[in-house]
Chain A
């Protein structure tokens, strides 16, 4: 479980959010919703330990590895690695043949889970937007995370591909009790896949039921 108690974050004098209280249960699939600059990525960075909180508490089991799928990657047409090799970047160096064999099994299993087995030898630079997102997802699954954070991973995809990716995430969420935190500006996806949202507004964050989210909460700009 993840719990925030009176969490506060400032950059210098500038307040990002304060009085933040919420719980995210194990195996939950939750949306983070709010306009750009409202602090969604900042909260995620605090969860991952990449950013320090300014006050309050954030309780999270240190043993729970977090898989983070960032929004942007620098992958151009000439990017040389194929999908399997890209995924394997997240493996540690192992000397023992036994451990290396296990790693290979793990990689195959994850490629299978993410429906990438048949595409594994395709250079990532030549893969479609949806295939790239699946590869990013697969790479972050290598650490066997208990929490998966998707940072606007569906933003630049066609509707159909978006759905495929989200179906896949939902499958992982259900089969492996993976907690999924989904940062999004997509009202439809949020409604379809998640039951609750953390709503970022007026320098604070409130947990709300997905039935209470409205389309204007997903506006990109500030209000």
Chain B
């Protein structure tokens, strides 16, 4: 399958996406931000269609919208009780805008489908390069703040007690999350990017008990999912997203069963 250039590009792009999403996902799950990451992907859709409308790249539109909205949601939801309501409020606004932008632009509906559900054929060498750079940016940010971010994500109260600047960490993380959503959407689509941002990280929690191991397992499951998905999509001509999400869901339930089995033994 690597005889085809588009497959090589898709393979490289999805490898970077999987590594980024696998790392970020561990923190998404432990910070209870699964719902937010889902919403950000919907907002990403609005951003992409905005990009199409004004003639910039969909990726740039996505980054713009997800960043602005993630920081907005972050500052609106300092009270955890208010978080769900503010996420819903912001996402309603952006989904409405996304539909408006798409109807105003002259792109066909298949273009919208690509943004929403992903595509392995649509990615160019230049886009792959952009993705790689963004993925590296995300990974570097996480590495720089790794210790504090881990402390804050796995024990927010303890981190505050130890004097960590948790507000700053929260904003820094929201920005990396926004970037990760934008990157991930390129292959799996904005509707399902949250699969990669939540399921491998959630599954890892049932299997291992330290932050570095959680990251390794999450990245491993994420990579396995996209590689297998790409291969099966190539062979069957079915959508890649279907295979990735099915794989991650199955592994999630296996992980959950393993944990329950271990508890009863």
Chain A positions within 8 Å of B, measured between CB atoms, are 48-50, 68-70, 72-74, 78, 80-82, 85-86, 89-93, 121, 123, 126, 136, 139-140, 143
Contact = CB atoms under 8 A, between A and B. Distances in A.
B158 interface: yes
Contacts of B146: 93
A89 B150 contact: yes
A92 B155 CA distance: 15
B210 interface: yes
B125 interface: no
Contact of B208 (A69, A80, A139): A80
A70 B161 contact: yes
A50 B214 CA distance: 32
Contacts of A48: 161, 163
A45 B154 CA distance: 22
Contact of A86 (B154, B156, B160, B205): B154
B157 interface: yes
Given A80-B205, A90-B151, A143-B162, A70 B157 contact: yes
Contact of B209 (A73, A82, A91, A93): A82
A93 B147 contact: yes
A74 B210 CA distance: 17
Interface of B: 30, 146-147, 150-151, 154-163, 204-206, 208-211, 214, 263
Interface of A is mostly: loop
A81 B211 contact: yes
Given A92-B147, A143-B162, 18 more contacts: A48-B163, A69-B161, A70-B161, A73-B155, A73-B157, A80-B204, A80-B208, A80-B209, A81-B154, A81-B210, A81-B211, A82-B210, A85-B210, A85-B211, A89-B150, A89-B154, A91-B147, A123-B209
B204 to A, nearest CB: 8
Contacts of A78: 205-206
A59 to B, nearest CB: 19
B161 A68 contact: yes
B224 to A, nearest CB: 20
Contact of A72 (B157, B206, B209, B214): B157
B163 A139 contact: no
3 closest residue pairs by CB, A with B = A80-B205, A68-B161, A82-B209
Nearest to B201: A80
Contacts of B214: 80
A73 to B, nearest CB: 5
Nearest to A151: B161
A30 B208 CA distance: 40
Nearest to B159: A89
Most buried by A among B146, B155, B208: B155
Contacts of B209: 80-82, 85, 121, 123
A143 B146 CA distance: 18
B158 A74 contact: no
5 contacts: A70-B157, A81-B154, A85-B210, A86-B154, A90-B151
A116 B151 CA distance: 20
Q: Which of A78, A82, A121 has the most CB of B within 10 A?
A: A78
